[in-house]
Amino acid sequence: MTGGVMRAGFALVLALTAWPEAARAQVDEDNGDAVVVDMPDPDRGCPVKPEFLPVTPMGLVGIERLGWLVHQAIIPPGKDKFFQAGARSRSGVKPVPAEMARKLGAPDLKVPLWVFGKADAKACKATPITWWAVRMGTDEDRQTYLMAELQTDCELLPPGRLSGTPLVLRQKEEPTGCRLRRPNRQQTGKETDGIPPDYAEHIPPQDCSAPECSRLWEYFGVTGEDSAGAFDLTVSYLHRNGSNPCNWATEDLSKLFVRAPESTALQELKPGGVLFGGLWDFNGLRYILSRQMGVFYAYDYQKLKAPPKAVRYGSPTEEDLIHAKRSLSPCKK
């Protein structure tokens, strides 16, 4: 063995020992010297045990700005110094000094936040910068929530559409290779259109005959390349009484489903919720995401028989309760 080759071999072993994970060494074909080549870190994918932090539009809680607040904690009544006496019976929002946030339940800032914004974009780092005490709900269920404004390294869609709602993860490492996908499929059925068979088998029989009754349906869903995904179905039965649709009695139902890769069968997910996306990584679909009446749900695709991870981030207002029923009625009230 020549001296040059021996030196190259020794340098190769030394380089691989010094940089075993972030780099690799190769021998330069021209002079036999070892060259260290940087290698990208492998993607981590979506977390196995995620800690999700839901978000709420600023305008919804009374802050007259476009933007989002991330859930931090529910403030116990004994620690709620922001809404006292009569203020407890009303909704409101008040600033919280930064030095008080941790004592009120805010997560430790040593663990970073990662926010998914636009569809298929990777997560970017986010930092809480201002905290708020938000009082919301009805007389039957009113609580005070600790929420925070975020400074982010990426652009977020403004509030206005459910499909643009950001998602925040709390974990030490960046969730590289994990992507948030938004609903990318939709179909609406007219009165004469039958419900697709894979959905119809999950719908209870209903006496609805034209012209006294008409049935409308709509679904939207989010899918990946292997057709695995989640689908949100709404069916409305309209019992006609005169020409004004606001006088018609309606019966409505909504269901959330999941479909396995290369399958036509649907599995219903309970308690359901309004679908707003899913998390995918190199293993395919990982989590199905929905929200309903102040509760965020994350269904683990690998453990669909288990209850979803649920996070309470808000109390429904009177207006929320009025509009809670999802309907395809043409009434424009």
139, 158, 176 — which closes off a domain? 176
Q: Please, what's the largest Cα pairwise distance for the chain?
A: 99
Residue 291 lies in a domain: yes
Helix ranges (H only) for the chain are 3-18, 58-61, 98-101, 197-200, 318-322
The answer to whether residue 43 sits within a structural domain is no
Q: pTM, whole model, 2 decimals?
A: 0.84
Would 45 be classed as within a structural domain?
no
Are residues 20 and 58 both part of a single domain? no
- 167 and 130 share one domain: yes
Do both 198 and 118 map to the same domain? no
> How many domains does one find in the chain?
3
The reply to whether 24 and 59 lie within a common domain is: no
Q: Which domain holds residue 307?
A: 185-322
Last-in-domain residue among 159, 176, 193: 176
Question: Is 284 found in the same domain as 224?
Answer: yes
User: What per-residue confidence (pLDDT) applies to 316?
Assistant: 86
Q: For the chain of 333 residues, list the mean pLDDT of each consecutive stretch of 10.
A: 46 43 53 61 90 94 92 96 93 96 95 91 93 93 96 87 83 95 91 90 91 94 90 96 92 95 89 94 95 94 95 85 83 79
Q: Considering the domain boundaries, does residue 9 fall inside one? A: yes
| Distance (Å, whole) CA 72 – CA 75 | 9
| Residue 259 included in any domain | yes
Q: Is the distance from CB of 79 to CB of 100 less than 8 angstroms?
A: no
Q: Based on the domain organization, do 241 and 158 belong to the same domain?
A: no
Same domain, 202 and 300: yes
Nearest-5° Cα angle at 320, 317 to 322: 115
Q: What is the pLDDT of residue 317?
A: 78
Report the distance separating Cα 149 and Cα 137, nearest Å: 21
22 with 93, same domain? no
